[in-house]
Amino acid sequence: MSDRTLVTYEVRDHVAYLTLTDPPANTYTHEMMRDLDAGILEARFDNDVHVIVITGDGEKFFCAGANIKMLQESDPTFKYYFCLHANETLNRLEHTPKLVIAALNGHTVGGGLEIAMAADLRIARRGAGKVGLPEITLGVLPGTGGTQRLARMLGKSKSIELMVTGELMSFEEGEKLGLVNKIFEDEDFAGQVHEYARQFCLPNKAAKAAGRIKRSVQSGCDLPFESGLAIERELQQLLFTSQDAKEGLNAYVEKRKPQFSGN
Q: How far apart are CA 86 and CA 30, in angstroms?
A: 8
- The active-site residue, picked from 73, 114, 167, 187, is 114
Nearest to 63 by CA among 111, 30, 31: 111
* Separation between Cα atoms, residue 172 and residue 180, nearest integer Å: 8
Q: How far apart are CA 36 and CA 221, in angstroms?
A: 26
CA distances from 26 to 50, 61, 110, 113, 233 (A): 26, 7, 12, 12, 41
Active-site choice (73, 135, 175, 254) = 135
Annotation marks residue 135 as catalytic? yes
DSSP labels, 108-157: EETHHHHHHHTSSEEEEETTS-EEE--GGGGTS--TTTHHHHHHHHH-HH
The amino acid present at 62, given as its one-letter code, is F
Q: Is 114 among the catalytic positions?
A: yes
Helix (DSSP H) and strand (DSSP E) numbers for the chain: 11, 10
Tell me phi and psi for residue 5, to 5 degrees. -85, 115
Q: Known catalytic residues?
A: 114, 135
